[in-house]
Chain A
Amino acid sequence: MSIVVKIEEKLYQNRYIVDESRPHIRIRSEAECKTCTSQACTVCCPAACYSKNEAGTVTLVTDGCLECGTCRVICQDKENIQWDYPRGGYGISYKFG
């Protein structure tokens, strides 16, 4: 039996202080994503921030980001992810860690 996972339900438990309209991670070039055969960011991101879209590129929504850095590490050959920490006080705020 395959288990269905709803990542939204997991992220819903977390505390975030969202920096409205100031995403701390950006995809540099959509065209570059189109040339990427694996689009591994859509699999590896533990918060499912990256998803494949109909245009064949990748959509990024950083609201659920856990600030781990995995996407930057996997995309380092293409250097297509501009990765920064959120401004001080914003982003994920772990209650337990």
Chain B
Amino acid sequence: MVEKFDAIVIGAGPSGNAAAYTLAKQGLSVLQLERGEYPGAKNVQGGIMYAAELEKIIPDFRDDCPTERHIIEQRIWLLGDDNYIGTNYRSDAFNTETPNRYTIIRANIDKWFSEKIREAGGLQICETTVTELIHDAAGKVIGVRTDREGGEIHADVVIMADGVNALLAKRSGYQKELAPENVALAVKEILFIDPELIQQRFGLKGDEGVVIEIMGKVTKGMVGTAFLYTNKESLTIGIGCLISDFKQGSVPPYKMLEDLKNHPVIKPLIEGAEMKEYAAHMIPEGGYKAVPQLFGDGWMVVGDAAHFNNAAHREGSNLAMASGRMAAETVAELKKAGKPFSAANLAAYKARLDDSFVMKDLKKYLNLPGIMHENKQFFGAYPDTLTAAAHNWFTVDSVDKRTKEKEIMKSFVKKRSVLGLVGDAIKLVRAVR
């Protein structure tokens, strides 16, 4: 006989874990399937974890959650060829009992979260790849087929938390292939280093941490960003660009990462560290317009598989956890009311999302991905001109300041023309207001 559960959750990342935990806590029978050797084995994140969404699911998570450093300083750097210009914000007020942001090592968090799911009564099976959804004659999803022998399992509802590739939704015709301009490829490395060196180089004590978000020449004119984060005993460094740009270029992603590590501004920060892992992952960047159908008869999609990523603010795992929780809450309510998991009833999941920061934030930036994609000057011409201007301004020579001002203004007009500059300003304001 085929085994049956109230719900099956596919994937053990932030969205799947949030869904499975919430369902188990509500007393539903839940099976979570993960294709990795252990939870986290297939997952990659920068990573910064925002506390608020995890706190909603597990209020006392700080008691034993293996976070790395709480973030007291955020730097945003624009890198030129051998220089940078940037802003830093640091505050001792971030040293609270309940910090808002932490750096994390993703596999540690996923293992910890899975333990919580098991404690809550959820069943988790690893090393199992779901190959397809099972539909009944009317097209309703009634279960999944796995690559295990006799691997057919039934459920009243299936929550797909299988990540950015979302193969299952594509195979069922619920989603189209990702457009290359709507998805980035990011590569990263974890570099282990003496914690005292981290404290010295970044001016930290205890578990204080710094994160640096990077734009500029390091992406070689492609639409992309880079980062350097401080963990307890390691640093993570990474870089990502739109796949449409990688496709047209001639620079492999690992070459771009190596050049970043050797940039004169970055190199002294990571000097002497030992590389222990190299990872790559796609990131959904298409925003609001790329969000697919989110539910149907007997199924829902959450997290990266639903394209929930706020590229402008570099938020992803919090949208993932929020969507997983909301999907589970919708299921639990319908179950309690004795209602079927029809598309009409599961539409309540979409309504919850629309009413939350998840869809509101994606909607706010709905034109940003397109504008960035079509205006490469933000990633090529501007980093050069801005750093050159700073270099000119801070070089004290015998040139008077008014002449310097004129030279700087001329350099901008030369690059983009007056109309171009005004147009770029308008585009940026329109994209983010």
Q: Tell whether B371 is near chain A: CB-to-CB under 8 Å.
A: no
* A85 and B129 form a contact (CB under 8 A): yes
The SS class assigned to the A binding surface is loop
CB-nearest residue of chain B to A1:
B262
- In the complex, the answer to whether B177 meets A73 with C-beta atoms within 8 Å is yes
Q: CB < 8 Å: which of A38, A40, A89, A94 contacts B107?
A: A94
Instruction: Answer whether A74 and B243 are a contact pair too, CB < 8 Å, given A3-B258, A68-B281.
Output: yes
A7 to B252, CA, bound (A): 10
Any B CB within 8 A of the CB of A23: no
Q: Provide the residues of chain B in CB contact with A43, threshold 8 Å.
A: 246-247, 249-252
Do A73 and B180 touch (CB < 8 A)?
Answer: yes
B185 interfacial by beta-carbon distance below 8 Å: yes
- Distance in Å from the Cβ of A44 to the closest Cβ of chain B? 5
Determine if B105 and A46 form an interchain contact, defined as CB atoms under 8 angstroms apart: no
Interface magnitude class on chain B: 35 or more
Q: How far is the CB of B170 from chain A (nearest CB, A)?
A: 10
Q: Is the CB of B278 within 8 A of A11?
A: yes
Interface assignment of A60: CB less than 8 Å from any CB of chain B: no
Contact call A46/B185, Cβ cutoff below 8 A: yes
Q: Which of B32-40, B393-401, B419-427 contacts A (4 or more CB under 8 A)?
A: B32-40
> Does B300 make an interface contact (CB < 8 A)?
no
Distance in Å: Cβ of B103 to nearest Cβ of chain A: 12
Within the complex, which residue of A10, A47, A88 is in contact with B148, where a contact is CB–CB below 8 Å?
A: A88
A93 at the B interface (CB under 8 A): yes
Q: Which of B42-50, B74-82, B328-336, B345-353 contacts A (4 or more CB under 8 A)?
A: B42-50
Nearest CB to that of B244 among chain A residues?
Answer: A74
Contact A73 B178 (CB under 8 A): yes
The yes or no answer to B282 lying at the interface (CB within 8 A) is yes
Q: Closest Cβ of chain B: how far from A52's Cβ, in Å? A: 13
Interface residues in B216-273 (C-beta closer than 8 Å to A): 234, 243, 246-255, 258-259, 262
CA distance A47 to B128 in the complex (A): 24
A56 interface residue (CB < 8 Å to B): no
A96 touches B276 (CB 8 A): yes
Q: Give the residue among A66, A73, A86, A89 with the most B Cβ atoms within 10 A.
A: A73
| Known interface pairs A46-B254, A73-B180, A87-B147; 5 further A-B residue pairs with C-beta atoms within 8 A, sorted by A's residue number | A44-B246, A44-B252, A88-B146, A89-B36, A96-B190
6 closest cross-chain pairs (CB), A and B:
A89-B127, A97-B106, A46-B280, A10-B278, A66-B280, A88-B128
Selected A-B contacts with CB under 8 Å, 6 pairs: A13-B277, A86-B35, A88-B126, A89-B126, A89-B127, A97-B41
